[in-house]
Structure 1
Amino acid sequence: MLLRTDPFRELDRLTEQFLRPGTWSRPTAMPMDAYRDGDEYVVVLDLPGVPREAIDIDVERNVLVVKAERRPTAHGDGVRMDLSERPLGAFSRQIMLSDVLDTDRIQADYEDGVLTVRIPIAERAKPRKVVVGSGSRRGEIAG
């Protein structure tokens, strides 16, 4: 049996759980980090306890949409839940992507409850050297 030391914290948690569970029409946001690593943009999302099959990733135009769902764990008869703090339901995150990202080559991996989405920087957006000509020659872009 677990002891609860702060009844107001427990009341706040229960209120949040019952009044605002994640549903497909009103999903809960998932924690996320995003950063550039060399020639790719990396988005990392925490989805502990979500099976790989319950994750859905879509890209339309420049919007990356990640959806996931965690369902309650089936317990046997006679089990009494004393504490339930892990969020259940639907989770969703929409990320606006820049035009400089190559959305045709997105890769996603899921390991230990962490979803990592890697989006390469488009070739046209990478830095290039411009050759400076002399006289009547105009500058050319070196590939």
Structure 2
Amino acid sequence: MLARNGAPGDLDRLTQDLAQVTDAAGTVIPADAWRDDEALYLQFDLPGMDRAGIELVTERDTLTLTAERPSPIPAGARPVLTERPTGRFTRRLTLSDALDTASAEAAYDNGVLTLRIPLAAHAKPRRIAISGGSPRIPGGPARQLPAPSGPRSGPAG
């Protein structure tokens, strides 16, 4: 998944996506990402944007965030200072297939969009029980695993 111990390259690919994506005006939607054993978490800074103007879409391995901030300057007014970016902003991230995007949850509070995407069941760490005896091999009786080959320690004979 999106960690060093997950599928190779996923974290690097996400980091590149986070660092390199800007919209046509050169404005990037700032983001942070982290994960634990249950989910991937993403936070995007979207100050001054109305929740109704924010859209999140996943398609295959791509997450697309689109947000719009209209200009507060009335039509016909002469701007004196315009430093805050306005218009439509888009951010695309490549996600791992180890995520369950169908169960994703998002919340928007105080200008921060938080997204939680659970890990798919096959990507979650799990403990494998160890039993006594030899493992069953399909199509045959239980067999002993071959002894390891290599130099043996002990007296030479």
With structure 2 as the length reference, what TM-score do the two structures score? 0.64
Unaligned runs of 5+ residues in structure 2 are 1-22, 138-157
Distance in 2, matches of 1:37 and 1:126, equals: 10
State the SS of the aligned residue for 1:87: coil
Instruction: Report the counterpart of residue 50 of structure 2 in structure 1.
Output: 51
**Does residue 93 of structure 1 match 2:71?**
no
Matches of residues 1-143 of structure 1 in structure 2 within 5 Å?
28-75=27-74, 80-138=78-136
Structure 1, 127-136 or 62-71: larger mean CA deviation: 127-136
Bigger radius of gyration among the two: 2
| Per-residue deviation, 1:90 | 1.4
Alignment CA distance shift 1:87-1:126 (3 Å): same
Unaligned runs of 5+ residues in structure 1 are 1-21
| Per-residue deviation, 1:83 | 1.7
* Aligned CA-pair RMSD: 2.4
Q: Which amino acid is the alignment partner of residue 73 of structure 1? A: P
Identical aligned residues as a percent:
43
Q: In 2, are the aligned partners of 1:28 and 1:92 still within 8 Å (CA)?
A: no
Alignment CA distance shift 1:132-1:38 (3 Å): closer
Q: In 2, are the aligned partners of 1:132 and 1:138 still within 8 Å (CA)?
A: no
Q: Which amino acid is the alignment partner of residue 113 of structure 1? A: G
